[in-house]
Structure 1
Amino acid sequence: MRVIVRTLSELCVTAGGLIVLFVVYALFWTGVQADGVMDEQIGLLREEWARSRPSSGAPPAAAEQPKPYAKGRPFAIMYIPRLGFTWNKPVLEGTAASTLEKGLGHYAETARLGQRGNFAVAGHRRTHGDPFKDFPRLRRGDAVVLTDGATWFTYRIDEGPYKTVPSDIEVIGPVPRTSGYTRPGRYLTLTTCEPEWGHSHRLIVWAHLDSTQPVEAGKPEALRR
């Protein structure tokens, strides 16, 4: 009997240790890894933008049809001052699990950044860097700023956070359901999981494109301290 009790006790201690290690991994290590990966994605983007920028004195390039976003690759950087002036995340094409481990993911079936329609983006609430941990703090009037290396796009939040179920795909439609919008426009939708450590529901905010300006003009007002 003593051997059985001792064995069970040791198994419980081992199981407890494994649980603690898993929690540390989920809370800390995936965050450390994700921060490094997201910084790497932003670095790659900035290098790409620097290479594609015309040299001083060169004539402007002729207008070209924008290239499709490459699946799983970054194409923009997002800033949300409400979440902190150091908060910035890469936006990649697609919402596959492997993509969302590197940053935020653009729903490929939605509009391109700044274009007519609904540019919709998803992000983890917890783990993998906790990009949208403070999502419930977002409020009407908050700025969401993005750049594609050539242009700054400033969106202003109109509605949310709104709680819904994962199957409610109409919230990322061209004119999102329950957003309050009644006609086509240039919209932004952000989505994340709810509750904080679960995924039974989604939190949504909607925004409209408020202004644009070329990168050469400097940072938009929303990013100036």
Structure 2
Amino acid sequence: MRVVVRTVSELCITAGTVIVLFVVYVLFWTGVKADHVMDDQIARLEDRWSQSGTRPAPTPAPGAAASDPPAQKPYKSGEPFAIMYIPRLGFTWNKPVLEGTATGTLKKGLGHYAGTAQLGEKGNFSVAGHRRTYGDPFKNFPELRRGDAVVLTDGTTWFTYRIDKGPYKTVPTDVEVIDPVPEKSGYSRTGRYLTLTTCDPEWGHSHRLIVWAHLDSTQPVEAGKPEALRR
């Protein structure tokens, strides 16, 4: 009996140790790795932009109403093409945006839903991100409010979107949230929209949290940072 009790106790201790190590891996180590990977993606983008000798056609002056941006090349699957800033989530918060929402892609940053509009174009530029694990990019997603700025840059232009609705709770099967004119967004006609999505609850995926925004203004990077990033 003593041998049995001792064996069971040792197995429980071993199992407990494995569980603790797994929790540490999920909560801490994946975040450390993801932060390093995202920093690397941003560094790659900034290096690419600094090496590029091409510039798009002139963009509107700072604060001007958005108009048709220069034609963009198709984004490459799994590759970064923009950096997102959300002041509400902290002025040090910035994440790379990559093409696609595959599991491997979302480990490197935020993912652009393939088939939705490109940055600044008419339609719905839609982006997904993890709420927890892999750097917790959208950990504080519920704090977003109407009027908050979501700023992106592709290295040549700043795009400032303003949130109109959300966080709105829905289910994963409600794919209409990334339609060109999302039915429940409050928009009634074609425009230049942004949709952000993440999982809910915090450690689950039974639902989704959504925010919708419209393109408020654009300006060339040569003009400096947009007002939303200078406060």
Give the drift of 1:214: 0.3
Q: Is 2:56–2:156's contact at 8 Å kept on the other side of the alignment?
A: no
2:45 is aligned with what amino acid? Answer: L
Alignment correspondent of 1:144: 150
Q: Quote the RMSD (CA, aligned, Å).
A: 1.3
SS where residue 161 of structure 2 aligns? strand
Tell me, yes or no, if the aligned pair for 2:30 and 2:133 is still in contact at 8 Å: yes
Q: 1:85 is matched with which residue?
A: 91
Cα deviation, 1:162-212, whole Å, max 9, x if unaligned, reads: 000001000000001210001110000000000000001000000000000
Q: In the TM superposition, what is the alpha-carbon distance from 1:66 to its structure 2 partner?
A: 2.1
Which position in structure 1 is the counterpart of 2:38?
Answer: 38
Residue pairs, 1:1-225, within 5 angstroms: 1-53=1-53, 65-225=71-231
SS in 2 for 1:105: strand
Go from structure 1 to structure 2 and tell me whether the alpha carbon gap of 1:72 and 1:10 turns closer, same or farther (over 3 Å shift).
Answer: same
Shift of 1:2: 1.1
Tell me the equivalent position of 2:65: none
| Displacement of 1:156 | 0.2
Q: Is the partner of 2:23 in helix, strand or coil?
A: helix
CA distance in 2, matches of 1:213, 1:170: 30
**Structure 1, residues 131-170: CA drift from partner, whole Å, max 9, x if none?**
0000000000000000000000000000000000001000
Measured in 2, the distance between the counterparts of 1:53 and 1:27 equals 42
Gaps of 5+ in 1: 55-59
How far residue 65 of structure 1 moved from its aligned partner, in angstroms, is: 4.5
State the one-letter code of the partner of 1:124: H
1:52/1:7 CA distance change after superposition, 3 Å: same
- Counterpart-to-counterpart distance in 2, 1:76 and 1:115: 14
* TM-score (norm: length of structure 1): 0.95
Deviation per CA, 1:61-93: give whole Å up to 9, x if none: 779842110000000000000000000000000
The percentage of counterpart residues that share the same residue type is 78
Q: Distance in 2 between matches of 1:105 and 1:155?
A: 17
Unaligned runs of 5+ in 2: 59-69
8 Å CA contact 2:77–2:99 kept in 1: the answer is yes
Answer whether contact 2:96 2:110 (CA < 8 A) is retained: yes
User: What is the aligned partner in structure 1 of residue 62 from structure 2?
Assistant: none
Structure 1 moving runs of 4+ over 4 Å: 60-65
* Cα distance in 2 for residues equivalent to 1:23 and 1:162: 30
RCO greater where, 1 or 2, for CA within 8 Å and sep 6 or more? Answer: 2
Residues 113 and 65 from structure 1, CA distance in 2 versus in 1: closer, same or farther, beyond 3 angstroms? closer
Q: CA deviation at 1:53?
A: 3.7
Whole-angstrom distance in 1 between the partners of 2:200 and 2:214: 23
In structure 2, what is the Cα distance between the partners aligned to 1:198 and 1:61? 42
Q: Secondary structure at the match of 1:49?
A: helix
Query: Counterparts of 1:53 and 1:78 in 2: how far apart (Å)?
Result: 23
Question: How far, CA to CA, are the matches of 2:117 and 2:71 in structure 1?
Answer: 15
Give distance in 1, aligned partners of 2:206 and 2:57.
48
Tell me, in whole angstroms, the C-alpha distance in 2 between the residues paired with 1:168 and 1:158. 19
